Amino acid sequence: DTREPVTVIGLGPMGQAMTTALLGAGHPVTVWNRTASRADAVVAKGATRAATVADALAASEIVLLSLTDYQAMDDILSTATDSLAGKLIVNLSSDTPQRTVEAARWLSDHGARLLVGGVMVSEELVGTEQSYVFYSGPRDSFDAHEATLAVLGRPDYRGEDHALAQLYYQAQLDIFLTSLAAYLHATALLKAAGVPEPTFAPYATEMFDMVSYFLRGIAEQLERGDYPGDGASVTMMGATADHIVGASDAAGIDATLPRAVQSYYHRAIAAGHGGNGWPSLYEVIRKR
């Protein structure tokens, strides 16, 4: 069978991993990177180095971008706008939903289409079973190239609105970044009392597993706006939030993150949710 040619622009860790996966699946891959030497490793594996951005665009109908942000896309593609017509630009770079929507308009003005992607795994997992990627943008473009995109990881199409893939990506990273910071804060709290980091690690893992258990049925409560107070009430959990801030201050460690959480509880109690379940914090969060 003949695999469609793919162009990859941007050869940071992610772009290199994607190029390697595509080559492994038998796709001819043309690459371009601002710092040309960063292409050496994938060229050694069989990728073709394009001398210019225009050459890179000319090589394939489907062009993957793996860049720091959307500004990098503007910087690169504005040097070759005459070569954009008819291309499907699949931008797998992170940025705000607003920038994503603007980029779709700009590309459309130059006769190209934008499919937005959010890769949900780190570079070493690209192309493996665990890998999945959110996409949004024109459905027909997604359908036409789904088999190629599947090489990177399970494609998860979220809708026509270009912002959606970026929003799903950010929602997932919102959970991820906050959870990782909480883990570091908790570790520092114990370290201040002399507990070595590896001693706490298995307990942290147990808590991460338990969090998903606590989420069962919560989305339905949030959707209904009904927060039964049985079990963990806002007053009870809010007292614990106060204690974590107190313990952090006493330990002399940074308490920015627990203070933010404490603030949610205080404001939920002030709004009359003290007897409700902790999911009622949602009311405080949704109405800034």
- Binding positions for ligand NDP, rule: CB under 6 A: 10-15, 33-35, 38, 66-68, 72, 75-76, 92-94, 119, 122-123
CB nearer to ligand NDP: give 68 or 240.
Answer: 68
- CB closer to ligand NDP, 153 vs 277: 153
Q: Which is nearer to ligand NDP, 100 or 262 (CB)?
A: 100
Residue 221 CB-density burial (10 A; 0-12 exposed, 13-18 middle, 19+ buried): middle
Q: How far is the CB of 198 from ligand NDP (least distance, A)?
A: 25
Token output for 208:
């991460």
Name the residue whose CB lies closest to ligand NDP: 12
Rounded to the nearest whole angstrom, what is the least distance from the CB of residue 99 to ligand NDP in the complex? 12
Euclidean distance between CA atoms 114 and 247, whole angstroms: 49
Contact 94, 117 (CB under 8 A): no
Cβ–Cβ under 8 Å, residues 255 and 248? yes
- How near is the Cβ of 148 to ligand NDP at its closest, in Å? 18
The candidate with the shortest Cα–Cα distance to 163, out of 210, 94, 224, is 94
- Tell the smallest beta-carbon distance from residue 84 to ligand NDP (Å): 16
Cβ at position 269, least distance to ligand NDP in Å: 37
- Pick between residue 168 and residue 227 the one whose CB is nearest to ligand NDP: 168
Residue 28: phi and psi, rounded to 5, are: -70, 125
Q: What is the smallest separation between the CB atom of 75 and ligand NDP, expressed in angstroms?
A: 4
Distances (CA, A) of 80 to 56, 57, 58, 75, 122: 10, 8, 10, 10, 30
Specify the DSSP class assigned to residue 50.
Answer: P
Beta carbon nearer to ligand NDP, 13 or 231: 13
Residue closer to ligand NDP by CB (options 71, 205) is 71
| 220 membership: H or E segment, kind and range | helix 218-224
Output Rg (C-alpha) for the chain, integer angstroms.
Answer: 23
Other Cβ atoms less than 10 A from the Cβ of 29: the count is 25
